[in-house]
Structure 1
Amino acid sequence: MAKLKGVVFVDARGHEEIAEASLDKPFVHGNFILRGEMEHVHQILPSKSAPIIVFCKMGGRAAKVKAGLEAEGYTNVLNAGGLGDVDFLD
């Protein structure tokens, strides 16, 4: 995980999905982005150049969150896809 220092992980899954398969690492929850509440993003993710990795259950919501962040000027956003695709969480 040392290589990932400074990376912000955004979990775009719903509350029910998080309860079913919680992860033991700190993540920013992305539902506010999916609901169009982008006014909160600058408080939670203040650096627009910070590396941000977005994931969800299958990858579709992560793509929407990535697009929303990029529309707000975030420049270093990666869609890691679904939980099954995210091997760096091990």
Structure 2
Amino acid sequence: MKSFLMLGLVIGLLFIFVKRIQSKGDKDMVKQWIQNGAIVVDVRTKSEYSEGHYSGAMNIPVDALPTNLNQLKDKQKNIIVYCRSGARSERAKQILEANGYSSVLNAGGLGDMP
């Protein structure tokens, strides 16, 4: 019985890991979206943002995103989100999609930006 629980746990963690990787956009796609006028949102904290950020990115920390959706007016516009590692930006992507934003790309971390 313990081995089945352990196997289930391993499969569950693997699924989460693969899902996170699949939702992260590649650099070429991110670059193309930026060239086509996408909105770039840094979802890290204000202090992380002030230490350095992608040029032209607006800062809306992921925890503040639900109450600041009005800053992202056009729900049809391409939106790129990034953070430090990709975890918070994945959460931001899910929040945006749940609120009707149709084109959201998780770029991963700041180091993944082109």
- Please confirm whether the aligned pair reaches a TM-score higher than 0.5, indicating the same fold: yes
Q: How many residues align?
A: 83
Q: Please tell me whether residue 53 in structure 1 is matched to residue 83 in structure 2.
A: no
Structure 1 moving runs of 4+ over 4 Å: none
**Partner SS for 2:82:** strand
Candidates 54, 57, 63, aligned match of 1:27: 57
Aligned CA-pair RMSD? 2.1
Written as runs of structure 1 = structure 2, the 5 A alignment for 1:1-90 is 4-23=35-54, 25-31=55-61, 34-35=62-63, 38-41=66-69, 43-87=70-114
| Structure (1 or 2) with the larger CA radius of gyration | 2
Deviation at 1:58, TM superposition (A): 1.0
Structure-1 separation of matches of 2:68 and 2:112: 28
Q: Taking structure 1 as the reference length, what is the TM-score of the superposition?
A: 0.77
Q: Do 1:30 and 1:65's aligned partners in 2 also have CA atoms closer than 8 Å? A: no
**Partner SS for 2:81:** strand
Aligned residues with identical type, % of pairs: 35
Deviation at 1:40, TM superposition (A): 2.7
- Paired amino acid for 1:29: N
Q: Taking structure 2 as the reference length, what is the TM-score of the superposition?
A: 0.63
Structure-1 separation of matches of 2:103 and 2:39: 10
| Alignment gaps of 5+ in structure 2 | 1-30
